[in-house]
Structure 1
């Protein structure tokens, strides 16, 4: 298997994206050739990971990786070197598209990838690239004819109309009452993506 790269991006790179990063790493295992990293569109270089994320598991591997995490801003180079880019929300994906439009075809929100990846299977050496192609085809099939409300129509067709809430996004509730709900959404999407890519979710406390 070739050295494929997954990049997870949120706003500050202290909560949603590092949680997905650590979860994916944990599922793929230390010997995997798939590397996973994260960044933020408004990250302050060097900020520590969210304490709640750090405390989610007690095993030494999780603790070490959480404590060694330092936030970093996303760059065009990070985007263009990645095989797959997963974002916490649709607005963040939009920012990345504007920053690096040539890479838009391999950008998906976490929830979008988890939904579109249903049924994916690959035993080839480039399973992340195969996964991206699968997601892109699924997204293309779900996209209606272009119109004035193309983006909104696509979202409703994929996930149903749920009012003002964007069902493809995981809200940034860091430090608020909904913080644990945000982390649960990240973990759920990450577990689904791992299963689709042949990884394994660990249940250590």
Structure 2
């Protein structure tokens, strides 16, 4: 897995993307050669990780990484050097495509990757490259994600209506009443992605 890298991007790089970054590192293990990093499309350089994410685990490794995290703004170079880019929302993915259009084939939202990655299995040294190829093939033939419990969403799309929830996105609820819901959505999706990449079903801890 030499040279492979995962970049996670959200808006401010203080909640959704650093949580995904730390969770991916934790799940891949200290011996992994896959590099994981994060950035934000509207980050204020140097901002610390949010306190909720920092407090999710109390082991020394999580605590040290959370304390060391500082927000940074995403660049085209960061995107182009990544094996896969995971965006927190469809809107953010759109901004990344405009920033680095040549890299669009390896950009997915976090939830989209978790959905499209079903059935992936590989022990190859370049498993992230193979994972991207699997996701891209699945994307070309996939049925659009439906919001949980939203039976009428497809009908409303066909009729030109708008749905209230974008099932491919994790909303930015940082600092609001839905903050914990956002954290849970990130954790659940990352657990699924880790299971796909490692071949082992994982449980949040």
TM-score (normalizing by structure 2): 0.90
1:159 counterpart residue number: 146
Cα deviation for residue 3 of structure 1 reads 1.8
SS in 2 for 1:164: coil
1:127 counterpart residue number: 127
Mapping for residues 38-49 of structure 1, pairs under 5 Å: 38-49=38-49
SS in 2 for 1:197: helix
Are 1:41 and 1:74, in contact at CA under 8 Å, matched by a contact in 2? yes
For 2:15 and 2:127, locate their aligned partners in 1 and report how far apart those are by CA, in whole Å. Answer: 27
Q: Which consecutive unaligned segments of at least 5 residues does structure 2 have?
A: 148-152, 155-162
1:111 counterpart residue number: 111
2:95 counterpart residue number: 95
Q: Which consecutive unaligned segments of at least 5 residues does structure 1 have?
A: 143-153
For 1:120 and 1:171, locate their aligned partners in 2 and report how far apart those are by CA, in whole Å. Answer: 26
For 1:139 and 1:17, locate their aligned partners in 2 and report how far apart those are by CA, in whole Å. Answer: 22
Cα deviation for residue 203 of structure 1 reads 4.9
Aligned residues: 191
The ranges of structure 1 where at least 4 consecutive aligned residues each deviate by more than 6 angstroms after the TM superposition are none
Are 1:26 and 1:202, in contact at CA under 8 Å, matched by a contact in 2? no
Mapping for residues 4-15 of structure 1, pairs under 5 Å: 4-15=4-15
Are 1:16 and 1:186, in contact at CA under 8 Å, matched by a contact in 2? yes
1:147 counterpart residue number: none
Are 1:87 and 1:93, in contact at CA under 8 Å, matched by a contact in 2? yes
Question: Are positions 1:62 and 2:49 aligned together?
Answer: no
1:151 counterpart residue number: none
SS in 2 for 1:181: helix
SS in 1 for 2:180: helix
